[in-house]
Each structure stands twice: as C-alpha cells, then as structure tokens.
Amino acid sequence: MSQFTGQTLFPHKNLSENLIAFSNHLRRTSQKFNLGPQEVQDGLRALEAVNLASVQEARQALKLVMCSCPEQEQVFDDLFFQFFLPSKRRSPPTANAKKRVPGGEGEDGEKTHSAGENPAGAGLEANLGGPSGISKTSADALEVSGAPTLKAMLSRTGSDSGVVEIVQEDLGAMLQAASRLIETVRLGKSRRWYSAAKGPRFHFRRTLRRGLQTGGEFVHTAWLAHPRRQPRFVFVLDGSRSMEGYADKLLQFAFALRMRSARVEVFTFSTELRRITRELEACKNLAGRPKLSGLGQAWGGGTRVGESLYALEHSYGGLVRGDTVIIVASDGLDTGEPQVLEHALRQLRLKSAALVWLNPLLEVNGYDPRANCMKTALPYLDKFCSARTPEDFAGLAEGLRLRK
C-alpha cells in the first residue's frame, strides 16, 4: 500500500502545500470544482481524521470534502491519481465507459450518461417484441467496436476540444422572450401556503398578533392561500451536425431561459446527452464572450434522438416532474431505433406537464414530419412547431394545454 505522506509521490514538500496545489489543479478542470480556503482547511482536517498510510482512505476523504456533485465525483479519482500518483495513472475514462471501479477497491461503478451506450443494457440486446420492443442497433455495435473513430469522423469538431459560443446578437430580445414564456405558462396551485387577503385557511400567527392590539378580540383576521406553481423547464437541444444554422439561436434561447429562471435545466446531445446547466450558469455574468467547451460527443456529430431522450429519462428522470415543460429542439433526423424514442417519449410525457418539440425543418417547404422519426414522436407531443425569432420563442406557450 502506498504511503500518502511519502514525499516521493508528491510535487511539494508538505501536506498542506500539496493540498493547496491539488485544489488549484481541481479548480482549473472543466468540472470547475468550487474550492475555497474553507474546503482546503476541511481537506486537511479530513486527512487528519483518516489513516494517512492508506492512499484509498485519503483519496476517499478528499473526495467527500472536495466534490459537490456527481459530475465532479465521477472524475475525482482520475484527477487524484493524475496529480499525486502520475506513475500509477489510470487510463482516462472513455465516453463509452459504462462502469468504472475507482481505485480497484470494490467501489460501485457509476453509469455515464451516454446515449451512445446501449441504454437498457442487456435488456435491449435482444429484440424484445415486448412493450418497449427495443432492439440493439447496428450503430450501437459500431459504438462498441470502433465508435470513437467513427464519431470523430462524423463530428464537426472532430475532437472533444470543440468550443461553442453563445451568440450575443439579439440576446436582450431573447431574454425578454424567455421572461414572457415563463410568465405565460400557467400551472395550478402549489401545496405551500402564503399570507393573503383572502384564502381557505386561517393564519393563526398573524391573527393572534393582530388580536393582541384589540384586547384579545380577533377583529382583524388574516388568511393563508396557495400560490400559483412556478413552471420548470427542461430544454433538450440537438447540437448535431444537421442542426448547424439553427442550433446557435436555440442555444441562445436556452441560455436566456436559464438566465431568467433557476428552474431551468438544459441538455444538449448529438450522439451523447450532456447536461450543460452548470456551464450556462457559469456564463451568466457575461464577462467576455460566453462559450461552452468540451461538449465532446454532445455537439456536432451524428444524431441519436431516441437514445439521448432515453438517457434523459433514465439518468435525469427526477428532473422531470408534474410542473415541468419539456422543450425538445431537434430536426428529428434520428439514426437510432424508433422504439427507443417511443419508449422515452412515453415516459417523459407521463411525467411532465407538457412536451413541446421545436423542429426547424417545419419552415422548409415540402417537409413531411411523417417521413422520419417525427412520425413516432407526434402522438406524444403537446405542441409541434418551429421557432427562430424571439417572438416565436415568447409565444411557445400560446395554445399549449398543460396536462397537470
């Protein structure tokens, strides 16, 4: 077992300097570890509390202190070994790596949220003929054998280093459109209570307070009522090569929506699904030109609509609730099996308040949505339209009937 305190392993001479350098290293990663002096101090305290002779215990202790979300937790082990034990560095996780066993100590692996992986595992290997009737695609087979190369060929960027800029032109109008959309989505009442002039429940605390001013007589009553529920949005953007020319505006709207409400989650996909909410959040201050980097297979490659939506439902299903409006922006040129798409859309429709599909091809003369995967999707949609201008986006909720 390697000794964590051994100087030969580390770049600096003492533990605190090593930890500060490691924190700096983590801050610079794409996962943007949010580490301040308090976390470094906690890291030192955590190391004091465990057996420093065990690298695994030390790594686990730092992981608990320094990670704050699954995305960081998934890459922490690699970053740890990269920094402290470069000679024992493990091969970097690939996009298709489904499970990993950090440190080789029997920890449970975690699933990556790759749409490229066969989402249902063994269950989809055989052609089911069951309710989902999903079969393993030939594309999946390619994925396993040599997909990274194929993906790179298909990719607009050809590598994971692609940078996507959020266009600034008309951003003000887009922000206004986002505000209008949020305001126009009308949901039912929330379960919480707030003080109101009239309501179904007596506000005891306030009535009692008022009663003290009138000698214990409750002359002026106060009431509680339910506020209206605020909608949540899940925006799923197809960033594949075929969406070139449309995706920029859609990404700008997604960004505007996120700027206007914290109840917005944004995903992008090409052959993989990627959650970009945090990245958009980081762009909020508008310092410089906001851009997203390292989108990898979630931008600029082929199109896996069904599997990406399946990954959304399977891995992020909790984000879709009764107050959620899902907006899928895609041309629907799916290369996957329609059964996968159908299964995913059925589940998403069941869980959400509304399912909206924005298809830029609707603006093209002669486009027939029954010709591709849209034929499968149409029965599950509450609204099917295209949107390009701020006015279009602001009017998305018009005529939209919420199911919950």
Partner 1 sequence: MSQSAQLDSVEGIQAILREQGYIADLPMATALRLVMALQKPLLVEGPAGVGKTQIAKTLADVLDTKLIRLQCYEGLDAATALYEWNYPKQMLHIRLTEGMRTAHSGHAANLENVGESVKEREAEIFSEPYLLRRPLLEAISQDQSPVLLIDEIDRADEEFEAFLLELLAEFQVTIPELGTVKATHRPYVILTSNRSRELSDALRRRCLYLWQNYPSLEKEAEIIRARLPGMDERLAQKIAAVMHYLRELPLNKAPGVAESLDWAQALVSLHREALDLGVLEATLGVILKDREDLALIESHKNRLAELVA
x-marked contacts with partner 1 along 255-284 as a string, rule CB under 8 A: -------xx-x-----------x-------
Told to check if 21 binds partner 1 by CB under 8 A, we report no
The CA distance from 403 to 322, in Å, is 8
Told to check if 121 binds partner 1 by CB under 8 A, we report yes
User: Do β-strands 201-202 and 223-225 pair in parallel, antiparallel, or remain unpaired?
Assistant: antiparallel
Told to check if 96 binds partner 1 by CB under 8 A, we report no
Residue 272 near residue 114, CB atoms below 8 Å: yes
Question: What residues from 30 to 49 belong to the interface with partner 1 (CB under 8 A)?
Answer: 34, 36, 38-39, 42, 45-46, 48-49
Interface residue with partner 1, options 21, 52, 97, 120 (CB under 8 A)? 120
Question: Between residues 94 and 214, which has the closer beta carbon with respect to partner 1?
Answer: 214
Q: Cα 220 vs. chain centroid, distance in angstroms?
A: 48
Question: Between residues 34 and 168, which has the closer beta carbon with respect to partner 1?
Answer: 34
x-marked contacts with partner 1 along 132-151 as a string, rule CB under 8 A: x-x-----------------
The CA distance from 312 to 272, in Å, is 10
Told to check if 93 binds partner 1 by CB under 8 A, we report no
Strand blocks (E) in 39-184: 163-165
Question: What residues from 172 to 211 belong to the interface with partner 1 (CB under 8 A)?
Answer: 190-193, 204-205, 208, 211
CA dihedral 350, 352, 354, 359 (to 10 degrees): -90
CA angle 108, 297, 143 (to 5 degrees): 70
CB-based burial of residue 104 (10 Å sphere; 0-12 exposed, 13-18 middle, 19+ buried)? exposed
**In this structure, what token pair is assigned to residue 144?**
């396993």
Interface residue with partner 1, options 2, 9, 20, 73 (CB under 8 A)? 73
Taking alpha carbons only, the member of 17, 159, 160 closest to residue 83 is 17
> Residues interacting with partner 1, by CB under 8 A?
34, 36, 38-39, 42, 45-46, 48-51, 56-57, 60-61, 63-65, 67-70, 73-74, 105-110, 119-124, 126, 128-132, 134, 190-193, 204-205, 208, 211-212, 215-216, 232, 262-263, 265, 277, 310, 314, 316, 318-319, 321, 343, 347
